[in-house]
Amino acid sequence: MKRSPLLSFAAISLALCASAQAATRPAYGGTLRVESSASLSSLDPAQEGGLSADAGLRSKVASLLFDGLVRLDESGTVQPALATSWRHDADFRRWEFVVREGVKMHNGSRLDPRLVVMSLAAANGAWKVRLAGNAVVVESESPMPELLAELARPRYSIVGRGIEGALIGTGPFRVAEFQPGKRLLLRANEDWWAGRPYADAIEITFARSYRDQSIDLQADRADVIEVSADQARRAAQEGQRLATSSPVELLAIVFLPKVQDQRVREAVSAAIDRASLHGILLQKQGEPAASLLPQWVSGYAFLFPTARNEAAPQPQRTGSSAQALTLAYDWSDTVAKSVAERVAVNARDAGVTVQVFGENLGNRPANADMRLVRVVLPSARASVALAAMAADLGYKEQAQQIVAMTSPESLYSAERALLRDFVVVPLAYVPEVHALGPRVRNWVAPRQGGWPLENVSLVLEKP
């Protein structure tokens, strides 16, 4: 019987659709090659946070190796992880978590709820953590209304320690090889409680400049690279596949204790032209900032004026000489270098001479009067983020009070108080930008940044 042309066309169409679906369906296998400008000397998530140059990278790697009781999804909503359910009392001082059963750690052992207790107690000495049957109880003298968001931070990961202190997690990947400061090779965790990741392995190369990363992506030596804020627009115009977060990284000046004259700190803050920093140096990526939290998190950042304050008092001069300061930035960060140099130009208008120089801030504190730092947003929840940033900046007592705040009004007042002495001078908030190679599939960029690598698959070469 002669086949109808229409039936033939329909059959061909179905075949093409099936072929297209097969080509885009996530596939298991392959090694995802990732490059970073920062480097790590340790994989311990307890060191997460702070003002070190590797803080952002540490958080990303921790999310691949370790799990917490809960996690945040791409939209910032709390989801179960090692805890399957939870409840709290009326004033949020006592929380109870049911630990997931049957979870395997990377060494093949079963997750013991006692390890959860030890991990959480070590992460926060102000908590009382104990077992209650098959549940873990966390208690505090002060209310903890945002405890779930706090527990989603990497520092509250559940971590065991093996022979010679080796870290053991339950995350989607396990360590296969670690060369501190150079390279990290991860293998897929076949027994991950949430299902095996698609990629067989992830190879992370450290300390690669933005320029070298770009070259490696073009030469097919990398699949995921970082793109600096000042190059993001150009990369998009050149047709690169970009994954961009909301503004999640704060560029700020931190004065060291040796600069005791508040008039000097205030003069430098008032002289900074944040509009030019944002519009010219950062190519309009992110937003100018005079606050610790970005607008999308707090909702009140617009209340902190970002314009130059020509009426601010200038420091007194000795004779005809201007006040002289030194400003250090991370030597490997080209954006930080440009921003630091512009700050020096602005400060001169306020009668403050600033000498700029680069140092390896990832390994040692700056030998300077001020530091230009990048502070990674610790959480998408305002109170958790502000409390963590306050603690990292040295305001420990204020941090303990902030974490219990829930109203925007109280958080705004607390943030104003943190910035009142001008020890910290926010400059701009920038997004995380990654360029993706042609092999990468299913990358869903979380609004708050990070590496969703457990969901990424690769287009594999045909045998």
Do residues 292 and 371 both lie within one domain? yes
How confident is the model at residue 316, as a pLDDT?
57
pLDDT digits 0-9 by tens, 121-131: 999 999 999 99
Domain's final residue, options 133, 157, 181: 157
Domain with residue 401: its CATH number is: 3.10.105.10
Q: Are residues 302 and 351 in the same domain?
A: yes
Kindly state whether residues 135 and 218 are assigned to the same domain.
Answer: no
Look at residue 17 and tell me if it is in a domain.
Answer: no
My answer on whether 202 and 281 are in the same domain is no
Residues 326 and 177 in one domain: no
In this predicted structure, which of 60-64, 147-151, 194-198, 315-319 has the lowest mean pLDDT? 315-319
Helix (H) or strand (E) holding 201: strand 201-205
Burial code (b: 16+ CB inside 10 Å, e: under 16) for 160-188 equals beeeeeebbbbbbbbbeebeeeeebbbbb
pTM of the entire structure?
A: 0.87
Q: How many CB atoms lie within 10 A of CB 98?
A: 18
135 domain residue, yes or no: yes
Predicted pLDDT of residue 446: 83
Final residue of a structural domain among 101, 133, 157: 157
Q: Do 443 and 426 sit in the same domain of this protein?
A: no
pLDDT of residue 394: 85
pLDDT, average across residues 396-407: 89
Tell me which residue has tokens 């108080």.
417
Query: pLDDT digit string (tens) for 12-44?
Result: 444 444 444 444 678 899 999 999 999 999 999
Structural domains in the chain (count): 3
Residues 52 and 76 in one domain: no
CATH of the domain at 460: 3.40.190.10
User: How far is residue 460's CA from residue 439's CA, in Å, rounded to a whole number?
Assistant: 7
Quick one: 354 and 263 in the same domain?
yes
Choose the weakest-confidence range: 24-38, 84-98, 217-231, 280-294: 24-38
Confidence category of residue 404, pLDDT binned at 50, 70, 90: confident
pLDDT surpasses 60 at 160: yes
pLDDT attached to residue 14: 45
> Is 257 inside any structural domain?
yes
For residues 61 and 71, state if they share a domain: no
pLDDT digits (tens, 9 = 90+) for 273-294: 999 999 999 999 999 999 999 9
95 and 40 part of one domain: no
What angle, rounded to 10 degrees, do the helices at 408-419 and 382-392 form?
Answer: 20
CATH number for the domain that contains residue 91: 3.90.76.10
Is 42 inside a domain boundary?
Answer: yes
Domain that holds residue 184: 28-65+171-223+437-463
**Cβ atoms of residues 386 and 414 within 8 Å:** yes
The answer to whether the beta carbons of residues 239 and 233 sit under 8 Å apart is no
- Domain identity same for 56 and 114: no
* Residue 313 or 109, more confident: 109
Residue 50 — pLDDT band, cuts 50, 70, 90? Answer: low
Same domain, 445 and 373: no
